[in-house]
Amino acid sequence: MTSRFVRLPIYAAAVAAVLTFALALPVPAAAQDAGELLDPSTMQEIRLTINTRDLRLIRERYSEDTYYTADLQWRNIRIRNAGVRSRGSASRNPDKLGLRVDFDRYVTGQRFLGLKSIVLKNLWQDGSFMHEALAMALFTRMGQPAPRESFCRLYINNEFQGLYGIVESVDKTFLNRTLGENDGYLYSYQIQEPFHGEYLGDDLAPYKSRFEPQSHERETDRMLYQPIHDWLREANSGDDATWRERVEEYVDLPQFVTQVAIESFLAENDGLLGYYGMNNFFLYRPAGSKRQRFLPWDKDNSFLLPGYSILERADQNVLFSRAFAYSDLRNLFFQVLESAADSSEESASKDAPGWLESEIDRIAALVAPSVEEDQRKSFSTEAFYESVVTMREFARLRPTLVRQQISEIRGRR
């Protein structure tokens, strides 16, 4: 009996130790999902650990796409041996790094909350820090597949790097979530000299250099690029009577017109009808199909002006200018614009601001403390607050100005 009483505290201590150890263990990643990370209403905190030599090299060689090893910590989840690299086009810089984090770069099949990769956007070209998040949110409201986005405070080696956007990568995981399948061919458009949908010739090389495969990378050039070649050849052919039938075999024209319309409402200056030709999109072709669709990407340059023309550079783009000649597609374009205007003004009550303005206020409140603390941002804190005011003005004016433009164009026709 005595020995039992002696042992009892030992057993109790052992159980306590086991429980303490168990509670100290990180919660498995499966207990949380990507929705929490990409929740736009919460300021996230992401911590990257990168060897100081690698960090120096990333900054020195920020224009290169070289991957380096990093550990990523979010809440109590630590992802080891992720691959991280500098990213972006005009936003690339050594001070506030734009980063892409690939979780399966070095560990086959590794996922973070089910995601293969994320983009840590440095919000370098946007004084309001909210163009991207708002634009993608509108795409989603309009029923179009778009990456989810949230904001985070990024730390590298425990040093605050500033306010960042967390952007869901357009990859197989994204395709499965938004389109319900991911077996097809996904391409990321790589901007070069201005391209407005012109036919690039019989050789597949110019198509290869513009459309970088994100899936089926090992397939032959013919499998990868012939449908793109055929689409552009047909889109540039002269026979108006059969143009639409031939082109629709290769591209979803209503979807294309819808995306252009939403970008147009957003006064997007660097999209499908961008100032430097087509830009910032993915192309997706389901397996077993020749028909391709567009997916939006990188909307930093949206919200340019409230009075931005809804047909800005519309005549330059081969595909759009010819599609616009068809009355049903033209009407679709106007309908989407009107829907976007309506959606942005939609409010919970009569006196409350519209959805777009409410979102601007909400995001401004969410990010302001981090913006003030961000020493690496390219705009001043004052410029941020001024941009928020400009954004509110955009939200109030843009729907009306878009409707006016639609009326004028319809009136002319």
Residues that bind another protein (CB under 8 A): 49-54, 68-71, 80-81, 83, 105-107, 157
| Residue 136 region by backbone torsions, left for phi larger than 0, else alpha for psi between -120 and 50, else beta | alpha
- In whole angstroms, the minimum distance from the beta carbon of 238 to another protein comes to 46
The smaller minimum CB distance to another protein, of residues 49 and 390, is found at 49
The smaller minimum CB distance to another protein, of residues 217 and 351, is found at 217
- In whole angstroms, the minimum distance from the beta carbon of 68 to another protein comes to 8
The smaller minimum CB distance to another protein, of residues 107 and 318, is found at 107
- In whole angstroms, the minimum distance from the beta carbon of 64 to another protein comes to 13
Structure tokens at 208: 């290869």
- In whole angstroms, the minimum distance from the beta carbon of 53 to another protein comes to 7
The smaller minimum CB distance to another protein, of residues 50 and 323, is found at 50
Q: Is the distance from CB of 50 to CB of 14 less than 8 angstroms?
A: no
- In whole angstroms, the minimum distance from the beta carbon of 107 to another protein comes to 5
Nearest to 78 by CA among 49, 38, 99, 58: 49
Nearest to 206 by CA among 219, 185, 189, 186: 189
- In whole angstroms, the minimum distance from the beta carbon of 307 to another protein comes to 49
- In whole angstroms, the minimum distance from the beta carbon of 289 to another protein comes to 28
Q: Is the distance from CB of 189 to CB of 213 less than 8 angstroms?
A: no
- In whole angstroms, the minimum distance from the beta carbon of 110 to another protein comes to 8
| 3-class SS string, the chain | CHHHHHHHHHHHHHHHHHHHHHHHCCCCHHHCCHHHHCCCCCEEEEEEEECHHHHHHHHHCCCCCCCEEEEEEECCEEEEEEEEEECCCCCCCCCCCCEEEECCCCCCCCCECCECEEEEECCCCCCCCCHHHHHHHHHHHCCCCCCCEEEEEEEECCEEEEEEEEEECCCHHHHHHHHCCCCCEEEEECCCCCCCCCCCCCCCHHHHHHEEECCCCCCCHHHHHHHHHHHHHHHCCCCHHHHHHHHHCCECHHHHHHHHHHHHHCCCCCCCCEECECCCEEEEECCCCCCEEEEECCCCCCCCCCCCCCCCCCCCCHHHHHHCCCHHHHHHHHHHHHHHHHHHHCCCCCCCCCHHHHHHHHHHHHHHHHHHHCCCCCCCHHHHHHHHHHHHHHHHHHHHHHHHHHHHHHHHC
The smaller minimum CB distance to another protein, of residues 49 and 339, is found at 49
- In whole angstroms, the minimum distance from the beta carbon of 92 to another protein comes to 22
Structure tokens at 134: 């708002």
- In whole angstroms, the minimum distance from the beta carbon of 112 to another protein comes to 14
277 — phi, psi (to 5°)?
Answer: 80, -170
The smaller minimum CB distance to another protein, of residues 51 and 375, is found at 51
The smaller minimum CB distance to another protein, of residues 159 and 382, is found at 159
The smaller minimum CB distance to another protein, of residues 4 and 53, is found at 53
- In whole angstroms, the minimum distance from the beta carbon of 26 to another protein comes to 15
Nearest to 282 by CA among 402, 145, 160, 100: 145
The smaller minimum CB distance to another protein, of residues 9 and 109, is found at 109
The smaller minimum CB distance to another protein, of residues 86 and 387, is found at 86
The smaller minimum CB distance to another protein, of residues 110 and 226, is found at 110
